[in-house]
Structure 1
């Protein structure tokens, strides 16, 4: 398959993965998420891993699942906030428009987070974040929790509350290769606590 066909297949498989996760119990869904991502990273032509690294790939390292890192939050409008322009390599710049603030994370995590709308055709919700593990136990540039353009979305509960499960936090592709340039978490979305859930640096 050519580059566009393989990219289409990658995105379809990721969309199918998150649809399956939303239908599963929490820990079972997380285990399935890890298994499928490991396979995609190891085998798929669109893996962010260089071809030379895939044969030695043993799986994505993650913190142990912690049910206390799963939240259902409300949202309030992000008022009088300016858009952010971030570099995205060959794609030029990405415009992030702050459109909502979480309601319900300040007490357990020390801060509410900003949700962004990625400007462009179709758009999508984007939630990058930083925390106190960055640069030590996790990627220095932070992690992603939601990116609906890439189908990374755990959905909402019956009352419309947004499900944020930090056990599903994952690295941007640029964490794996300098061939990628990714939008990193703005400073305003850096949490003051350690989020010891989701993807982490490989253990020695």
Structure 2
């Protein structure tokens, strides 16, 4: 009887560990304390929820750039894809006072602080992007081979979550890539990505571009 109980307990523990690893194991890996891997199904639902919230904001908020809110049916997006969420190695600038003068879509200029270069691999391609800082916001302004085709020709933006940022690494989630307001309303002036931030890969992630009036 004791032997049977022992094997029953072992079996229950094995089932527990298999279930835990299957559903939660993807969330345990880390790099410099950053969450490196996540559960794809849970992640996909979170991305869709945030997109729904943004569409609601654009449809109803007075600060939305959408002019014809009554006919607005939501933005167009690539399907959530966790493979476009990468951990990048940061190469900070030794000189913390370096600035970047960014051209705006209306011909004016804006000055950003150069924060670091983010180096990572995406779908087998080596990539390098300049991360800039304006006040307390860390951003990447970029173009890729979808720009002007499936996505906005003026480029897209990613804002880095300070919680997913350390001195040496950062999580870059291209599923959060978004179009600037000037893509939907010419009254807005938007910063243009620096020349060095043209990626050699197609970023089929984040917002697509369909003109809205």
- The alignment's TM-score, normalised by the length of structure 1, stands at 0.72
Coordinate RMSD, CA, aligned: 2.9
Cα pair distance change 1:75/1:187, threshold 3 Å: same
Cα contact 1:99–1:115 (8 A) shared by 2: yes
Provide the rounded CA distance (Å) in 1 between the counterparts of 2:65 and 2:141. Answer: 18
Q: Map of 1:129-144 to 2, 5 A cutoff?
A: 129-144=142-157
Aligned counterpart in structure 1 of residue 93 of structure 2, from 65, 75, 78: 78
- Tell me the alpha carbon deviations over residues 82-117 of structure 1, each in whole angstroms, 9 at most, x when there is no partner: 532235589x63212222011323774432111112
Provide the rounded CA distance (Å) in 1 between the counterparts of 2:169 and 2:94. Answer: 20
Question: Does 1:172 find its partner at 2:180?
Answer: yes
The alpha carbon displacement at 1:159 in A equals: 10
Q: Determine the structure 1 residue equivalent to 2:110.
A: 94
Cα contact 1:103–1:112 (8 A) shared by 2: yes
Q: Map of 1:1-204 to 2, 5 A cutoff?
A: 25-50=42-67, 53-78=68-93, 83-88=99-104, 93-105=109-121, 108-118=124-134, 122-146=135-159, 153=161, 155-156=163-164, 161-202=169-210
Aligned residues: 169
Unmatched runs of 5 consecutive residues or more in structure 1? 1-23, 147-151
* Structure with a larger share of its residues in strand: 2
Unmatched runs of 5 consecutive residues or more in structure 2? 1-40
- The alignment's TM-score, normalised by the length of structure 2, stands at 0.70
